[in-house]
Amino acid sequence: FQREDILATLLSQIEGSGSGIKRVPSYVAPDLAAQIRRHVTNSIRLRKGSFPCYFVTDMATFALPAE
């Protein structure tokens, strides 16, 4: 997956759920959730120097619209 495709794929998996019940995307599409977790894990880096800390190099945040 490319970063731009993640939201489109996630929304297409959830579309039509229509019962009004909120669904966690990881329950609806567990394979997609695993790919998102893998993408985030690969973007975490450790800063070198006098104050080592973890940081995210590339991260997009999405908000799903309310139904």
pLDDT tens-digit profile of 26-61? 677 788 778 878 887 787 888 888 888 887 766 566
Q: Is the pLDDT of residue 4 over 70?
A: no
Amino acid at position 67, single letter: E
Give just the sign of the alpha carbon dihedral 1, 31, 65, 19.
positive
Q: Average of pLDDT values for 1-25?
A: 59
What tokens appear for 55 in the block? 């940081």
Band (pLDDT 50/70/90 cuts) for residue 14 is low
Pick the closest to residue 66 from 20, 8, 5 (CA basis). Answer: 20
Q: What is the pTM of this model?
A: 0.44
